Structure 1
Amino acid sequence: MKGLLLLLWLLVTLVAQAGTYRWVDENGQTHFSDRPPVNTVADEVSLKAAAPSADKAASERKRRVNEFLEQSERERAERNRAEAEQQAEAAQYEARCQALRARLKFLKSVSGIYRLNNEGERVFVDDQENERLRREFRAKVQNECDS
């Protein structure tokens, strides 16, 4: 809207600066033109351009458009923040699952599982406990990562 008002003001200014001529024809009618008439005496008149005025309706429309744009920008920023948060959570989830799968692969490759006793010595579990621990860990990986 401001651009349109500025353009109109510039056009009016250019027209006013181009020169305006006034003359009266043989019938007594007054005429105005930006070029002097041929074979008639004309007076050059100076015109003052009216200052552009912003009506209330235009001001209200501008205010509403600005509010809409600000609200849209806030919503876009919130969507971007939520999306970034979702992507970070997905990356953490994927990293955790990769670590769990790597541990599962390691458990499959070792022949026996051990625990450390109070003195820090390795104590291997029996075959039945070994299989139970592998089964529980496999179920944990499936439950947390493959659902």
Structure 2
Amino acid sequence: MKGLLILLCLLITPITQAGTYRWVDENGQTHFGDRPPVNTASDEVTLKSAAPSSDAAARERKQRMNEFLEQTERERTERNEAKARQEAQAAKHEARCQALRARLKYLKSVSGIYRLNSEGERVFVDDEENERIRQEFRARVQSECDA
């Protein structure tokens, strides 16, 4: 959009040239160019550019175009911010799932699971409790990461 605005500004501004030359060839035809011809007499002419239109309709169109460009830019910014938030949330979720899967892998590799009692000592759970903890953790990983 900014490129379009720059292009419009370039087209609106008056054209400045180093010089415009007029000459008549041997057939009597008049020619114009930005460089004087070789071996032919020429006159440098001044081109007058049209004054830019400053009527109310043109100002209104320009105002609407500026509002449209600003709105488009705001919408693009909002989309980019929403996308960045979504990507950050997805990355956070993936990191959490990797940690849960690593812990599940660890639970599968250890022979016994323990809890700490009130004195901070390890108290190993029985095989039935061991299997129940593993199944619960496996279900947690599936519900949080594999859905």
Scaled by the length of structure 2, the TM-score of the pair is 0.69
- Alignment deviations for residues 35-72 of structure 1 (CA, whole Å, 9 cap, x no partner): xxxxxxxxxxxxx9875441111111111110000000
- Alignment deviations for residues 4-36 of structure 1 (CA, whole Å, 9 cap, x no partner): 44326x58xx88xx8xxxxxxxxxxxxxxxxxx
Question: Helix, strand or coil: the match of 1:54?
Answer: coil
Q: What's 1:29 paired with?
A: none
Q: What's 2:80 paired with?
A: 80
Tell me whether 1:65 sits opposite 2:65 in the alignment: yes
User: Does the 8 Å contact 2:14/2:49 carry over to 1?
Assistant: no
Total equivalences in the alignment = 117
Greater mean alpha carbon deviation, residues 48-57 or residues 134-143:
48-57
Q: Unaligned 5+ residue runs, structure 1?
A: 19-47
- Higher fraction of helix: 1
Q: What's 1:123 paired with?
A: 123
Tell me whether 1:99 sits opposite 2:99 in the alignment: yes
CA distance in 1, matches of 2:13, 2:93: 56
CA distance in 2, matches of 1:143, 1:52: 67
CA distance in 2, matches of 1:2, 1:139: 63
Q: Unaligned 5+ residue runs, structure 2?
A: 1-7, 22-47
CA distance in 2, matches of 1:109, 1:4: 73
Identity, in percent, stands at 69
User: Which of 1 and 2 has greater Rg?
Assistant: 1
Task: Report the alpha carbon displacement of residue 101 of structure 1 after superposing the two structures with TM.
Answer: 0.2
